Amino acid sequence: MSHPSARAASAGPATDVGTQPAPDAYGTGARFSLHPMTDSFIDVILGALDAADTDGLTLTTDDVSTFVRGPENRLLSYLTETIAHAGRTGVHTVAHVLLSRGCPGEVACEVADGAAYAPEVPHPTAATGLQASAHWALYPLEDGANADHMAGIYAAIENAKQLGVYSGSEHYVTRLDGDLADVLAAVVAGWLLVGADVRHVATHVTVSLNSPTGGPR
């Protein structure tokens, strides 16, 4: 069931459109993989990749995962559409998603000079009708003696609580449960909220749909 409160995520830090760095210049993107638990996994994966709107995005798929480059709101929409398409097959599907920002070049990361930047937090996409369970971790990659990594993490967790998808803390992760659109929106929102203060931020989430166990055991 979708949480109505997640339909109106609080806005994050605003930045003048003219000052927003391009995704490739700022290193904003995602890498994800789909794991359908079925002998027909090829059809489910390729069907999901073909079904989603790729407008405004750069994609590269190999035998391990798919790389996606683009604006934050488009990343959220694309990931929601792709994972939802796989989930609507009814097959137990797991998705691993990594989001990173603030690291141009990536292969040999040299964080560019300048202040931390994050756009407004995108509103969640329309409810998918798919119940998702997730383990989420957030990594503010800030150096310096005065860096307070946990402050940003706790703020992101509090935001997930406000969106109604927070289910508790577990070993090394935060548990999220709710409509797939709301869960992914909370992940992206936390990533951006920390990104307003920390230049380089990565976040990882493992999402499970149609699990036969139906929750923690």
Q: Band of the pLDDT at 5, cuts 50, 70, 90?
A: very low
Nearest-angstrom CA–CA distance, 18 and 35? 39
Token pair, residue 68, equals 């996606």
Q: Which helix (H) or strand (E) holds 76?
A: helix 72-87
Compute the average pLDDT of residues 141-158: 81
Distances (CA, A) of 210 to 4, 30, 190: 22, 24, 25
Residue-range domain boundaries for the chain: 4-107+115-209
User: Helices 72-87 & 41-51, crossing angle to 10 degrees?
Assistant: 140
Contacts of 174 (CB under 8 A, 6+ apart): 135, 136, 137, 138, 157, 160, 166, 168
pLDDT at 142 over 60: yes
Q: Give pLDDT, residue 21.
A: 83
The pLDDT tens digits of the residues spanning 75-99 come to 999 999 999 999 999 999 999 999 9
φ and ψ at residue 102, rounded to 5 degrees: 85, 15
For the chain, what is the mean pLDDT?
86
Which residue has tokens 């040299």? 110
Q: Which helix (H) or strand (E) holds 210?
A: none
The CATH class, in words, for 4-107+115-209 is alpha beta
Q: Are 162 and 197 in contact (CB under 8 A)?
A: no
Token pair, residue 78, equals 């694309």
199 versus 138: the higher-pLDDT residue is 138
Nearest-angstrom CA–CA distance, 108 and 13? 28
The pLDDT tens digits of the residues spanning 42-78 come to 999 999 999 999 999 999 999 999 999 999 999 999 9
